[in-house]
Amino acid sequence: MSKRPILEMYGIHKRFYGFAALSNVSIRLFPGEVHALMGENGAGKSTLIKVLTGVYRIDEGRILLDDRELRVANPHEAQEAGIATVYQEVNLCPNLTVAENIFIGREPRRFGRILWKEMNRQADELLRSRLHVSIDVTQPLGSYSVAIQQLVAIARALSISARILILDEPTSSLDRHEVEQLFAVMRSLKEQGLAILFVTHFLDQVYEISDRITILRSGELVGEYLTSELSRIELVKHMIGKDLQVLNQLTERTDRSAARGQEPFLEAQGLGRSRQIEAFHLTIHRGEIVGFAGLLGSGRTEAARLLFGADRADRGHLRIAGEGRHPIEAPSQAIRQGIAFCSENRKTEGIIADLSVRENIILALQARRGWFRALSRKRQEEIADEYIRRINIHPKDPEIPVRNLSGGNQQKVLLARWLLMEPKLFILDEPTRGIDIGAKTEIQKLVLDLSDKGMAVLFISSELEEVIRVSDRIAVLRDRRLISMMEREEISQENVMKAIAGG
């Protein structure tokens, strides 16, 4: 293996609105290696990547590519220099076809005319030969699942003759099989001499695929380690910078069924929506955590959206707090009934990126109060400060636009928005996706505390362990149907897996 790094970044500094997102960070990438970039939310991982790909300009520091100063002013120049990136949340155009997405801006042409057939052929071949995916590349990207979209994004990066491939949380929405597929691709690229920078929160995956680890904490470099020489415990310690007490706080749960109220808060009777989710029955009691387990596309999210009125059910009805009513028709109606919903798509369905942290936090409360009962600026600031402190949002300035926060902190802003409403039922769809261990634990703990105080929770996650850990009962979904409802006694990793897999 070559000892000379292909890319070196030294003494990188980057400040936003007076807080340092990166201070004196360095990292080296070697050809033929998978380099894992680790750190908690707000550690500066995303910022570092954006600096490297020309989205942000650095305030201080040097970037060397092949021992030569690299100057990239925008992502396009970074691509030209051989740095390809696949971001956490798919950054493609859902209304263009798969082939168009792969070749956009670089379409095969003759005399300025785009060779559509050639383009489709190349796209198909690329996906087939390098990613082992065979799909109709002439269909709009949006008609495929998030997992496929992710693979297309990777295919796009591959089609550019990249020397450095950056994968920012590529696996957060892939199922196990798809992750295997991705890793196979990564290994073969590694053998071809590519340097791969891999960002993830899954420790297993880091140890499975990476050769080298760089750890960041609060915008500062902790160190660079060989994966084979760093134990998991050490890694986690370096990331969160404190002992593992936080992790141990989530010990095995005591039997809470006694604490759970017997009074149902929400009853769905034959609720369903054609082509989305078949009619299902579901009861959630006060103070109870119901988990949804199932694969991607099993109908988890679709079912939850009906309960909140994000989509309209076309059959069945809901009883909330013992009152029978027709399906909820709009989110505002659900909110008045005391239901809150955190969507899995943080960027498109959660935060309002342009608005400040303060405005994002008070948004739902203000919406319930209406136009004219405006919260005074002073009250808004009190609320924002309180929640920034309570759930530990970083940076602490409530006036920063939410777009400048890390993914995990954006998630916390959304949690704050809904906690402020004091909901009776909180629907959390993938609340910990793309979030580091520390924040993940914090969020799980928060959920448990809230349910102890009588809040009903519907918890959706692709991480089975997590669902099992927090849930009192688990509903298993498969192929857009709710297929079984498990009581606490029956819940075990094996049972749930069996139910998900079917047979």
For binding to another protein (CB under 8 A), which residues are involved? 10-11, 13, 24, 57-58, 60-62, 69, 71, 73, 308, 310, 330-332, 335, 341, 343, 348-355, 359, 363-364, 366-375, 417
Nearer to another protein, 31 or 309 (CB): 309
Looking at the Cβ atoms of 151 and 277, the one nearer to another protein is 277
Cβ closer to another protein: 233 or 352?
352
- Nearest distance, CB of residue 417 and another protein, angstroms: 7
d(CA 414, CA 51) in angstroms, rounded, equals 26
77 burial (CB, 10 Å; 0-12 / 13-18 / 19+) is middle
Nearer to another protein, 24 or 145 (CB): 24
Q: Give min distance, CB of 357 to another protein, in A.
A: 14
Judging by beta carbons within 10 Å of its beta carbon (0-12, 13-18, 19+), is residue 67 exposed, middle or buried?
Answer: exposed
Q: Which is nearer to another protein, 326 or 373 (CB)?
A: 373
If phi > 0 it is left, if psi is from -120 to 50 it is alpha, else beta; for residue 497 that is alpha
For the bound state, the minimum distance from the C-beta of residue 241 to another protein, rounded and expressed in Å, comes to 22
Per the CB < 8 A criterion, the answer to whether 185 and 154 are in contact is: yes
Angle at 476 between CA 346 and CA 303, to 5 degrees: 45
DSSP state of 95: T
Report, in Å, the least distance between residue 404 CB and another protein. 15
Which residues, 6 or more positions from 379, have their beta carbon under 8 angstroms from its beta carbon?
none
DSSP-based three-state secondary structure for 304: helix
Beta strands in 39-81 (DSSP E): 60-65, 68-69
Nearer to another protein, 127 or 365 (CB): 365
To the nearest whole angstrom, how small is the minimum distance from the Cβ of residue 157 to another protein? 24
CB of 372 to another protein, least distance (A): 5
Asked whether the beta carbons of 350 and 428 are under 8 A apart, the reply is no
Least Cβ distance, residue 328 to another protein (angstroms): 12
Contacts (Cβ under 8 Å, ≥6 apart) of 50: 56
Least separation in angstroms between residue 19's CB and another protein is 16
Q: Which is nearer to another protein, 288 or 429 (CB)?
A: 429
Pick 111 or 371: Cβ nearer another protein:
371
Tokens of 281: 């029955």
Partners of 8 in the beta sheet?
28, 64
298: nearest Cα among 479, 31, 492: 479
